Amino acid sequence: MSAPKRVGQHTIQFANPPVIVATASIVGPKEGEGPLGNTFDMVIDDSYFGEETWEKAERKMLEEAVKMVIAKAQLKPQDIDFLLAGDLLNQTISANYAARTLGIPFLGLYGACSTMYEGMALAAILIDGGFAHHVVAACSSHYDTAERQYRFPTEQGVQRPPTAQWTVTGAGAVLMAPVGNGPRITHATIGRVLDVGIKDPNDMGSAMAPAAVDTIVRHFQDTGRGPVDYDLIITGDLGRVGHEIATKLLGEQKYDVSKNYSDCGILIYDHERQDTHAGGSGCACSAVVFAGHLMGKLNEGRYKRILGVGTGALLSTTATQQGESIPGIGHGVVIEKL
């Protein structure tokens, strides 16, 4: 028996596409110095954000981004039915502690760097299904907290290989509702976990690219669309290495994305000037690029239809130390200015 809100095998088509009422973005100093610096709502001048630890700074950024997006919509925290949020840290502590302060009914997410688009897809399902009126999807990451957990203490000054990506310091939030004047989420293609055997935690772009391609291809097959039907196809944070692989893999399946495909991990930093190697990564990468740069283009009418695919490397330090390969995932969401 087919579901009435499904098209093809893997894609949801929302009967009443939820509206993105407002977005908010907070970033660190390095992100503020990048090419998208003027698109963010707040640029902090200190990676500690006035706190004692980087972990507390990340938590504070997430809290402030959620408060900001609610205020932009002229609402109060008690008006929000659900907060869907996550981060990169063990047991999603940034989101957990932020939710403790905010007091909003909370669903914690872990999709690694795909968390923002996972949250947006689930928020759309809740609203289109009639289970909620106002939902906030949010996530955060921090260069120093991620380095400490996944790699080496920043104080150690370990040399990074060319395939490594720079974890974005920041937090993004999206507030969605059944009605409003903003862009709408019309489709969602939920990703599958794919593993192509990459074991190097400093090469997440190679690990995630096949999962992103799998989601994009399944979305095209389900909807009957192709690259020309989108003003922009953008992945979450494959970076320069993963973007090149994804472009090649899509080409092998007869999808030419050379004219309208980019990646948040490429856009957020100046590759030559900022020395971020393969580009940006982290939960906040796709979150702040969408909440700032992409939302601005949609509101201006520069983009009418975007296919965003948040990509995540589902690794842990324990798994990589035990020699496990790195699974990847990509969640696709279509945002349209109707």
Summarised one tens digit per residue, pLDDT across range 194-246 is 999 999 888 889 999 999 999 999 999 999 999 999 999 999 899 999 999 99
Residue 251: inside a domain? yes
- pLDDT at position 266, please? 95
Question: Does residue 265 carry a pLDDT above 80?
Answer: yes
Count up the domains in the chain and report the number: 2
My answer on whether 265 and 127 are in the same domain is: no
The confidence band for 1, taking pLDDT boundaries of 50, 70 and 90, is very low
Say which CATH number the domain at 77 has: 3.40.47.40
My answer on whether 145 and 162 are in the same domain is: yes
> Containing domain of residue 198, as a range?
184-336
My answer on whether 21 and 162 are in the same domain is: yes
My answer on whether 194 and 300 are in the same domain is: yes
Residue 200: inside a domain? yes
Residue 69: inside a domain? yes
Question: Does residue 152 carry a pLDDT above 70?
Answer: no
Q: What are phi and psi of 300, to 5 degrees?
A: -80, -15
My answer on whether 220 and 331 are in the same domain is: yes
Beta bridge partners of 175: 22, 136
Residues in CB range of 21: below 8 A, 6 or more apart: 73, 134, 175, 176, 177, 180, 182
Q: What Cα–Cα distance (Å) separates residue 67 from each residue in 45, 72, 140, 145? A: 20, 9, 14, 22
Q: How many CB atoms lie within 10 A of CB 242?
A: 34
Residue 124: inside a domain? yes
Share of the chain above pLDDT 90, in %: 84
14 in Cβ contact with 6 (< 8 Å): no
DSSP string of 249-263, one letter each residue: HHHHTT---TTTEEE
My answer on whether 203 and 328 are in the same domain is: yes
pTM of the model: 0.94
Task: Tell me the C-alpha distance between 101 and 212, whole Å.
Answer: 34
187 in Cβ contact with 333 (< 8 Å): yes
My answer on whether 36 and 61 are in the same domain is: yes
Last residue in a domain, options 147, 177, 207: 177
Query: The tokens 């039907």 sit on which residue?
Result: 229
Task: Tell me the C-alpha distance between 111 and 86, whole Å.
Answer: 8
My answer on whether 128 and 206 are in the same domain is: no
Last residue in a domain, options 111, 146, 177: 177
Residue 278: inside a domain? yes
Question: Does residue 150 carry a pLDDT above 80?
Answer: no
The residue-averaged pLDDT of 161-168 equals 73
My answer on whether 137 and 60 are in the same domain is: yes
Last residue in a domain, options 155, 177, 199: 177
The confidence band for 3, taking pLDDT boundaries of 50, 70 and 90, is low
Residue 1: inside a domain? no
My answer on whether 14 and 96 are in the same domain is: yes
Question: Does residue 155 carry a pLDDT above 90?
Answer: no
My answer on whether 217 and 169 are in the same domain is: no
My answer on whether 254 and 323 are in the same domain is: yes
Q: Is 189 helix (H, G, I), strand (E, B) or coil?
A: strand
253 burial class (0-12, 13-18, 19+ CB within 10 angstroms)?
exposed
Q: Is 212 helix (H, G, I), strand (E, B) or coil?
A: helix
Task: Tell me the C-alpha distance between 281 and 285, whole Å.
Answer: 6
- pLDDT at position 270, please? 93
Query: The tokens 């006035």 sit on which residue?
Result: 50
Q: Count Cα neighbours of 41 within 13 Å in the Cβ-side half-sphere.
A: 25
Residue 249: inside a domain? yes
- pLDDT at position 293, please? 98
141 burial class (0-12, 13-18, 19+ CB within 10 angstroms)?
buried
Angle at the Cα of 123 from the Cα atoms of 122 and 128, rounded to 5 degrees: 100
Average pLDDT, the chain: 94
222 in Cβ contact with 9 (< 8 Å): yes
Distance of CA 139 to the CA centre of its chain: 8
Residue 247: inside a domain? yes
Q: How many CB atoms lie within 10 A of CB 202?
A: 15
Q: How many CB atoms lie within 10 A of CB 297?
A: 18
